[in-house]
Structure 1
Amino acid sequence: MINQLGCPVVELPITYLGIPLTLRRPSAAQLQPLVDSVAARLPTWKAWLMNKAGRLAIVKSVLSAIPVHQLLAFAPPKKTLKQLEKIQRGFLWAGRAIANGGNCHVNWRHACRPGEYGGLGIRDLERAGLALRLRWMWLAHTDTDRAWQGLDLQFSKEERVLFFASTTMMLGDGRTTLFWDDRWISGQSVREIAPLLYQCIPKQRRKTRTMADGLNGNTWARDIQGTIGIHEIGLYLMMDSKCYILGPILLRSHLPGIYTLPLVEADLEELGATPRQILPLAC
């Protein structure tokens, strides 16, 4: 087959569609080509002819856009992010790849704020990457027609915690609601209200046990493993009472569950923001 297709046989790490493929998280050395590609886009000979508004436009539309493809797939090392921000900061304030402290007019974190909050609207690469990767988790829970549905997508602990802390679940038939991770108990999850009991659940069960399966014959109770103390028993009894109430309701429902973002317009008005401004805040 290799001879017929003409495909070379290589060893990892390799680059496929611009993404480095490795057995582990890509290192800063493996992502150096990304840093070099950003630095190569600096119009150094034109920089002195441009005012800061022009350089800001290039930072926002070019230098911040190049890493997006990689940020969708993985979280780069801190060193790589600092190198990318250093290039952006240097070009914005000094018109070159490196700028010293005297050239920088404001703190970079302040410059990355949206314009409505006193910043320059530059994309914070670390937070933008986190938001982009959370999009995969959102689609995995809300769009069942995706071709990659069913694959075991890997997310870091930070990404999972942020996703489940930012979403709530409107219960339907329980087939799409995760029993242990989703926030289905009055806007809270089992992780939040019963952390000791949550630690007794194997990781694979946390990611696969749905509400419909868990309430069918109290299957959720069989997920509890390990040594159980008096505190865990108390949490178990609390969970059992909640499941006793919700079980008959779910079994009669034929509507799918819906994931929602618990950010309402009243909250936005208190922040002085509009729904259209949520995306700049995240990215």
Structure 2
Amino acid sequence: MRRKASELNTTLARITTWWRQRAKAKWIEEGDANSNFFHSFASACKRGNRILEVQKPNGDRSDDPALIQEEFMKFFMLKWEERQIVCDSWPNFHSEDMIPDQVNEILEAEITLKPVLGSIFSEEQGAFVSRRSISNHGLIVQEMLSKFQFSAKKSGMMALKIDMETPWIYVKVVFDKDVPCRHICSFSVRSSSPKPLDRGGGGQLGVQVINNVERISHLLYADDILIFAEASRSNAICIMKLLGDYCDWTRQRINGGKSAVLFSRSCPNWKKLLIAKLMGYRKVNSMEYLGLPLVLRRLKAEDFDKTIRNAHQKTNIWGKKHLSLAGRALLIRTSLLSIPMYLMTYTSVPRGILHSIEKLGITFLWQKDSNSRGMHYVEWKELCQPRDHGGLGFHGLDNWQGPLHARLAWQVISNPNLLLHKVLKAKYGMEQWNDTQVYRASTTWKVIHDGAKALKEIIRWNIGDGQSIDVLQDCWILNRRIDTWPTFVNVNELENVRVNWLLDESARWNEERVTDCFGNVMAERVMAIATNGNEGIDTP
């Protein structure tokens, strides 16, 4: 009997695994994979992914499975065919182009370049390099678009979105005995130089966001390519030559139909038409980079129509009649509310969009079928409470933007060597802790400022000169703000007072003031805190 029961359990587990693999759904919980709804979902997923017919190069359509397979084989064999590269236009190598000796020793000892990629590739290359994330590129490009929006430069600027027909490369290396391997490697290093792209005629490509900050000429993240330059015919020709050389070296091709060029507001219309025609790219007023909308105005609800459509499609595909209340709650919590999470992290999503998605979740939870509206028995705010507090564990989207931005803010604040940190510090002074309004603030600055406000409640300050730290509302004694303590602190005297008021001219504690404001017991703890750290700068 036990053996039969074991066989039954093993068979049921295999069936559950088979249905899970067939549906390719990760949100399902243990025990739900053999439900009627899940079987319907898996079958619908398979039908949606099935290819019924293909169109041949001559325009004819075919639904024969054998011909469909043949067309797919031809397509990918063409993509991965062996190609002959052109080396005639390779640059001449000089001694200064060679990689350092210590790096060359690593190359000779190991095949992997991972230990030295950070020093070889500039920060404009974000993918495949350790400790570099997509967040920096997403925020930098939005800061660049703010420059495009508000710059009054009459010559104008342009941003090129390059789409490659084949984002992968098949490489067959044949080493020439007359060209040392060290020089071949140094070529790849030189092509990713941290300096802006050189025009070769004394000028430079790239756009300078603010004075005293290096130009940003390009952003590369995997196959997402953006190139920035001043809008001029000579720069357009230079960019086309650089791209042409790259395509000759790698045998890749640029998809001119999908590539686009975006110009700044101040650029004259005649110049926009001239450059777009010269390069053969579409002239657009908006584009996407890493899934983020890039526009030359304030973001509106219409820029997030794709997000709303995705949410609608999910609720329609699920099919309400197959689900219990617990099943609908599971899908809302794990799938529906996560749709705008990426955009909420890296840009400012209008509250109307977030409320629309929450409204879809409410309707999906309580509406029994398409013909009845359904009664909302519990308020959405209550459903967003944890389960042990009587809720369903939903997260309110509006309350999540601050914590999501806080991670980015801390990353920028704690890494002064980041290009994004240098740009924001030069442009805004890194006064993200203050509530003062910034004139013509970019979306990037709004994200960092919002994240800093969320961080302010939980970080503890190290005192430098005390000018940035509020005595009552910032955390600098132990791990709590003073205005939340049940203490006998003289609140009236310390209202809107900075910590520097409690310091003397040498940035040491003024014992008399500290004792008058905090009393003897608290004053001892305050004066035990070190001051004038980090060269007199307040740091979190």
The TM-score, its normalising length taken from structure 2, stands at 0.34
User: Conserved in 2, the CA contact under 8 Å of 1:39 and 1:97?
Assistant: no
Query: Which stretch of structure 1 is more off in the superposition, 72-81 or 155-164?
Result: 155-164
C-alpha change, 1:66 and 1:76, in structure 2 (3 Å) is same
Q: Of 165, 179, 186, which residue of structure 1 is paired with 2:457? A: 165
Provide the secondary structure at the position in 1 that maps to 2:402.
helix
For the pair 1:41 / 2:278, whether they are aligned, the reply is: no
Distance 1:35 1:21 in 2: 18
Q: Which digits, 9 at most, give the CA deviation of each residue in 1:135-183, with x for residues without a partner?
A: 1112233456767443425136655434323322245xx4xx9841574
Which residue identity lines up with residue 240 of structure 2 in the other structure? N
AA paired with 1:167?
Answer: I
CA RMSD of the aligned region, Å? 3.9
Q: Structure 2 stretches of 5 or more lacking a match?
A: 1-237, 244-253, 263-283, 425-443, 484-493, 511-528
Equivalent residues of 1:90, 1:99 under 8 A apart: no
1:120 and 2:120 correspond: no
The sequence identity of aligned pairs, in percent, is 19
Q: Whole-Å Cα distance in 1 between the matches of residues 469 and 532 of structure 2?
A: 20
Q: Provide Cα deviations, 1:173-199, integer angstroms capped at 9, x if missing partner.
A: x4xx9841574654579xxx564x78x
Task: Please tell me whether residue 17 in structure 1 is matched to residue 290 in structure 2.
Answer: yes
The TM-score with structure 1 as length reference comes to 0.60
Cα offsets for 1:106-159 (capped at 9, x unmatched): 000111111122110112111112210111112233456767443425136655
Deviations 1:217-273 (A, max 9, x none): xxxxxxxxxxxxxxxxxx97x35538631599545789x9884xxxxxxxxxxxxxx
Amino acid in the other structure paired with 2:446: F
Equivalent in the alignment of 1:80: 353
Alignment match of 2:507 (pick from 244, 249, 263)? 244
Query: Is 1:63 the counterpart of 2:336 in the alignment?
Result: yes
Contact 2:462 2:539 in 1 (8 A): yes
The CA deviation string for residues 60-97 of structure 1, in whole angstroms up to 9 with x for no partner, is 11111111110001232121112111111111111568
159-168 vs 26-35, which deviates more?
159-168
User: Whole-Å Cα distance in 1 between the matches of residues 371 and 403 of structure 2?
Assistant: 28
After TM superposition, the structure 1 = structure 2 runs for residues 1-283 of structure 1, keeping only pairs within 5 Å, are 1-4=238-241, 5=243, 6=254, 7-10=259-262, 11-44=284-317, 46-94=319-367, 100=373, 102-142=374-414, 148-152=420-424, 153-155=444-446, 159-171=451-463, 174=464, 179-180=467-468, 183=474, 185-186=476-477, 187=481, 195=496, 238-241=501-504, 244-245=507-508, 249-250=530-531, 259=540
Q: SS of the counterpart of 1:167?
A: coil
Larger RCO: Structure 1 or Structure 2 (Cα < 8 Å, ≥ 6 residues apart)? 1
